[in-house]
Amino acid sequence: MSRLLIVANRLPIAVSRVEGKIHVERSPGGLATGLSGPHSKSDALWIGWPGDVQDLTDDEHAALERRLDELRAVPVWIPPDDLREFYEGFSNGALWPLFHHLLDQMPLRVQGWDAYERANRRFADEVCRHYNDGDLIWVHDYQLMLLPQMLRDRLPEARIGFFLHIPFPASELFRTIAHRERLLEGVLGADLVGFHTAGYMRSFASSLLRVLGIPSNVDRVYHDQREVRLGVFPMGVDTDKFAKLAESDEVQARVRELRGMDDCAMILGIDRLDYTKGIRRRLLAYEKFLYDHPEMHGRVRMTQVAVPSRTSVEAYQDFRSQVEASIGRINGAFSTPEWAPIHYLYRGVDEVELSALYRAADVILVTPVRDGMNLVAKEFVASRTDDGGVLVLSEFAGAASELAEAVMMNPFDVDRTSEIIHRALTLPADERLARMRALRRRVLSYDVHHWVRSYLESLEEATDRSDPSAFAPTPPARLERLCDEMRSADDLLLVLGYDGTLVPFASAPELSKPDEDLLVLLRRLAARPRTEIHVVSGSSRDVIEQRFGEIPIHLHAEYGFWERAKGAVVWEGGDVPVQEWRDQVLQILENFTARTPGSLIEEKTVSVAWHYRMAEPEFGAFQANELTLHLSQLLSNEPVEIVTDDKLIEVRQTGVDKGIVVPRLLAQSPPGVFVVAMGDDRNDEELFAALAGQGTTIHVGGGTSMADVRVPNIDAARRLLASLVD
């Protein structure tokens, strides 16, 4: 097993000053428990912020570092001003509400980006300082979204995982955040990006498409000549620990005390005091339940435990006041001298008390408006070794995608929630038992250790570098050798693609004009002795002529069906066959174009193309799928091929592809000519196939290719060509 570097915003320890002395303790959070196994093994390190430990003397600082070192914890020190902006500003002030779909909690002006970037850089420095070859790096959560790419830049070969503990927002909302491109690119520095649910993974993929234009293939993304895997890993809890605790004498005694206070049924709420947890609507629903069911007064009580959280953030202070006002109003309206409808505890409770509460409750209300997973729901189930209790669970918690046997609720529907509270309290015993048994089977089989194992196994698999992937860039030495061979060849034949190879894709074919630098480069190459240049494009003759008409090179339009030799003025081509299919195809394409805003039709002599680069990406892809199906049925007996390419569907005369230029070019060339073909898409693969064994092929950009050599992008392709004339 490789050494693991865990990188999270917080270290799994709590530093405090007790009677003037600095005290360091392990803190028992869910992540800390889950990772304690791997952290204690194989020299693993945990890198993170040690907490707010100000006013340390130099001696105390040194002693703290020594103690942390013993615990294999590496502190990342962040200056207080930066910390506020990084943590309270950008992370919790902007990313937290946005990712939870709570736009009303977003500040008018998002601040703290620079501090966010600086803090991520400090983490990167610490990771690089401790990194050894072969380590696995596992980065956690929204505070560190830039870190994977920062590490990738400095440690290109490192094996890096990223896990997001909170939801990923719908792309429509994600698009609203400043620096959205940097955040996505930051995460894509990882080899494996993990989410709690398939929904979050889909939202992430959708944002990649809309914000960066990067498509994904279900669980794979190709970016920057690397494959990035996406995966779903629902986090579990330490079920053994919760079961043992719940069965312990101490907890059982405490449960008897809690249950023995009176005959009230107990409704439990346990949350960090956070506006995402749905506490205010839960209280409103409980209030309505008390109005609607006077017979329940004195027979039921809600115990709401709220752990103080992010207390220096204003939104959290306001939220606390609102929660406490609601509780005050409800208790004021319904309490009697013997009974109060709500017990409210504003503090954390220790694990014995937590376990006793889980065990004593008749019903637990887990009602977040949105929550990455929600471990409280799973801890409750893990504690119910007696198969008792009812879990009421929000559809908007990540846990809902696994725990289907809970009593599900929509936290935004207060009236219905109030009915659900009544239903949960009066659920028939057999149904209650059946639900809890099913929930327990699920929660016990996917505990936190399973989560850690399955994530790390996937990370090992995603980063197995023993099988050099088809996406690896060609080593510089190989490229250098190719340049030498080209430079020293007696005769050189360059066969070049255009869109995506020499210039970026434009929104419509006629808009992809060559820039001045490219024209100069082509002129210089054309002037090189014993060098012939052929540009082979899918575009029509007019378009190609407009682009390159003035340059002394050979032009091929419509995948080589038409050719204009160097210096010639007319195009030569084969006979254009009768195309009985054309009118019918055009009619269908017009229909799709009308229904797909942003799409357009391009008519050529041997083909008709439908472009959807400007359409809304997901709808465009959906329509393209429909269109392909439709066309394949319609044209099954026609002499055409349906070619799908980057944001393009083309119906093309059979037998026309870029491969047809190869025999012609070789026949015109002197014997022993050194042929180099360069391209980026599926049409160029036809060219490469026809050239196999007779020349060297170069693929530009990501994705799979049969080419001999790969360069990462258009700039690199141009640099390679420029090296022939510099």
Binding site for ligand ADQ (CB under 6 A): 30, 165-166, 235, 270-272, 305, 307, 348-349, 354, 371-376, 379
Distance, CA of 22 to CA of 64 (rounded, Å): 8
DSSP assigned state of 648: E
Q: From the candidates 100, 165, 556, 699, which is the catalytic residue?
A: 165
Token digits of residue 356: 């006793």
How near is the Cβ of 270 to ligand ADQ at its closest, in Å? 4
Look-up of token digits 């949350």: 271
- Choose between 374 and 540: whose C-beta lies nearer to ligand ADQ: 374
Give the nearest distance from C-beta 349 to ligand ADQ in angstroms: 4
CA separation for the pair 255, 210 (Å, rounded)? 52
One DSSP character per residue, 514-575 reads PPHHHHHHHHHHHTSTTEEEEEE-SS-HHHHHHHHTTSSSEEEEGGGTEEE-TT--S-EE-P
Report in angstroms how near the CB of residue 396 gets to ligand ADQ at its nearest: 11
Burial class (CB in 10 A: 0-12, 13-18, 19+), 300: buried
Q: What secondary structure does DSSP assign to 346-375, as a single string?
A: ES---HHHHHHHHHH-SEEEE--SSBS--H
Query: 698: helix, coil or strand?
Result: strand
What is the total residue count of the chain?
Answer: 726
100 included as an active-site residue: no
Please state, in angstroms and as integers, the Cα–Cα distance from residue 551 to each residue in 545, 565, 592, following that order: 10, 11, 38
Which one is catalytic: 135, 371, 657, 708? 371
Least separation in angstroms between residue 87's CB and ligand ADQ is 15
Q: Which is nearer to ligand ADQ, 236 or 695 (CB)?
A: 236
CB of 141 to ligand ADQ, least distance (A): 8
State which residue, 4 or 237, has the beta carbon closest to ligand ADQ: 237
Tell me the helices (H) and strands (E) count for the chain, helix number first.
Answer: 26, 29
Is 422 annotated in the active site?
Answer: no
Q: Which is nearer to ligand ADQ, 170 or 307 (CB)?
A: 307
Q: Sign (positive/negative) of CA torsion 187, 191, 196, 197?
A: positive
What are residue 230's DSSP bridge partners?
Answer: 193
Q: 497: exposed, middle or buried (C-beta count within 10 Å: 0-12, 13-18, 19+)?
A: buried
Contact in structure between 78 and 116 (CB atoms under 8 Å): no
Q: Which two tokens stand for residue 624?
A: 């393209």
Three-state SS sequence of 622-634 = HHHHHHHHHHHHH
Cα separation, 366 vs 370, whole angstroms: 11
Nearer of residues 271 and 657 to ligand ADQ, judged by Cβ:
271
Residue placing its CB nearer to ligand ADQ in the complex, 100 or 611: 100
Residue 366 or 609: which CB sits closer to ligand ADQ?
366
> How many other β-carbons are positioned within 10 Å of the β-carbon of residue 37?
14
Query: Which CB, 246 or 665, lies closer to ligand ADQ?
Result: 246
Q: What residues are labeled active site?
A: 165, 371
